[in-house]
Chains A and B, each alone.
Chain A
Amino acid sequence: MITEEREVLVDVQNLRVEFKVRGRRPFVAVRDVSFQIYKGETFGLVGETGSGKTTIGRAIVRINETAAGVIKFRGQKINGVISKEVDRMVTQKIQMIFQDPMASLNERAKVDYIVSEGLYNTKKYKDEDDRRAKVEKALLEVGLLPEFASRFPHEFSGGQRQRIGVARALIMEPEFIIADEPISSLDVSIRAQVLNLLSALQKDKGLTYMFISHDLSVVRFIADRVAVIHKGQIVELAETEELFKNPLHPYTRALLSAIPTPDPRIEREKRVLVYDPSCHDYSKDKPKWVEIKPGHFVMGNNVELSQYETMID
């Protein structure tokens, strides 16, 4: 695939996010992270708990402040100080879906209000009839009945609540959706339904996704390209199958070796690799972020990179 010709929708360069800690130096949750997301693709972001995945998503939608770096959407800078218009554009065009549908939905509000919230905030409707029609359309699009609008979240199953979360994003007619562990809290049999829904909506509407997950098997199935994040740093990024075939960074290799496969033969023979960060000697030879092969990026110093070169087939 010739990646250069594709349209970049989201461009993140040298992103840094810090959290203030009382009486101490700020905690760096995301450091020097760079990646681009192409229009129409599903970009997977995988890493363990606390690695900074949600923080990156929240920085893009402007919930988290950025300490350094640039985030661009359709070529326009959207982090830091921006105009009211650009802010409004971000609020509309970029939507986020969260992991726990129950916690992310206001329990005391009816579905009608929950789904309309973005519309209310941006006044993006003509009148009450228009708003109601939009809610109805969004509910239908995610496979829910329009009459559900008058019910409360607790009356729904986990899968249905996640659909409400998706409807609430869709109603804004976004171009880019950040799905933060959207199926992690769902039951196995319901997960497939929600994954299928997200894929169908992407096809229909030409949506671009950033799919955040700690579950590599799901990411492998859904994502076109995958970035692996470890302790706030992206260590490797490649097209999905390339990453699974040729993992280079020792962290990626350890992560891949740990995912259980639903096949007893494979599981019994597999060897789990353990990642030991002290395997890197960055005292003199500093690591850099390099495109080691078209579309395949990895973090490493000169010694490591020349070793990775020999691993690529």
Chain B
Amino acid sequence: MSKPILSAKDVVVKFSLRGQILTAIRQASLDLYEGQTMAIVGESGSGKSVFTKTFLGMLDANGWVDSGTIMFEGQDLAKLKTEKEWLKVRGKKIAMIFQDPMTALNPLRTVGMQIREVLEMHQGLRGEDAKNRTIEILGQVGIDNPSMRYGQYPHEFSGGMRQRVVIAIAVACNPRILICDEPTTALDVTIQAQILELIRKLQKELNLTIVYITHDLGVVANVAEHVAVMYAGDIIEYGTAEEIFYDARHPYTWALLSSLPQLGIKGQPLYSISGTPPNLFTEIKGDAFAPRNPRALKIDFVHRPPYFRVSPTHIARTWLLDPRAPKVEPPEAIKAMKAKYARYAT
């Protein structure tokens, strides 16, 4: 495999909150490869946004990268200090879009001006050139009648169209990496399907590297080639979409998949995960998922598991993969998925 375009290693992020310290990211590591579409999936609070915001220096003021490295184009982003340094990366090389498009849009300026501004600042385009390029980009993100839309304000757009405008602003300066943080969570499924299609199209056309953050495993299956599963501030499993959906190894990934209604049997209780995620204010011992894992081993409560390699593209942080571990069967729904996949393959 080629060299990663971005490589985050053992990243620890802490926040100070009312005199207490919360550890939001606990030594998470992730490699991103050029042209790859990777999904980060996990429940709310698992650290998806915080982790990826460290790639753009966008942490809230009460938070900091405590240790770890984030290598990008030969420099360690974790060491950047000033806003001036970050402005060379943020937006320009790595862009991020969010769930609520209005956070990125200025309600008082026309959509055209907001894209044009980016082009003028980052690409040095001026006058008619800037305008024409803006209209071209609006068309590229699927906005009908772009020359008319150029002069309209954000409130004249529907939620889905606004998200397209935000995507247009993000891609206007040709970033290498585009991070999409739950961009369709607030949209209806039919609109979501269109935005997902747009993101796939842009990925191909612009050879973007995409990180797609979501809690929806259906969306993951739709967009991602690779999947990272986050739990309690850590990436606990990473693999190709096929490996995660048909051959997951971490009990948390099993639980997340099995609790989906699509994998349930009508009339029978759904597989459900008891309890709640751990408190991030206190130190987590062993495997963070152990207290909620009915299949937990003794060692899960004592030592944090390292990553075990399942395939060249698949790793999981679970003691179950240690050669000394007893053989533990995944839940029924997981076995059924695997069997279904085996049937596809033959």
Contacts and interface: CB of A to CB of B under 8 A. Distances in A.
Interface stretch (A9-17, A103-111, A251-259): A251-259
B190 A48 contact: yes
Interface stretch (A21-29, A163-171, A261-269): A261-269
Nearest to A203: B267
Contact of A265 (B188, B257, B341): B341
Interface in B224-268: 224, 241-242, 245, 255-257, 259-264, 266
A262 B218 contact: yes
Interface string A232-266: 00000000000000000000001101111111111
A260 B216 contact: yes
B270 A265 contact: no
B220 A214 contact: no
Interface stretch (A68-76, A132-140, A184-192, A281-289): A184-192
A221 B221 contact: no
B259 A254 contact: no
B76 interface: no
A119 interface: no
Interface stretch (B5-13, B63-71, B271-279, B322-330): B271-279
A42 to B, nearest CB: 11
A217 B260 contact: yes
A258 B259 contact: no
Contact of B261 (A48, A218, A275): A218
Interface residues of A, number: 39
A312 interface: no
Given A49-B188, A193-B272, A188 B215 contact: yes
Given A48-B188, A187-B43, A262 B193 contact: no
Interface in A142-192: 157, 159, 187-192
Contact of B189 (A191, A192, A216, A263): A216
Given A217-B218, A264-B221, A275-B190, A189 B262 contact: no
Contact of B262 (A187, A199, A217, A255): A217
A260 B272 CA distance: 21
A157 B221 contact: no
B273 A267 contact: no
A303 interface: no
A48 B159 CA distance: 13
Interface string A261-303: 1111111000010110000000000000000000000000000
B194 interface: yes
Nearest to B196: A260
Contacts of B217: 188, 262
B245 A262 contact: yes
A193 B272 CA distance: 6
Top-3 shortest CB links A-B: A260-B218, A221-B261, A192-B272
Interface of A: 48-49, 157, 159, 187-193, 195-196, 199-200, 214-218, 220-222, 254-255, 257-267, 272, 274-275
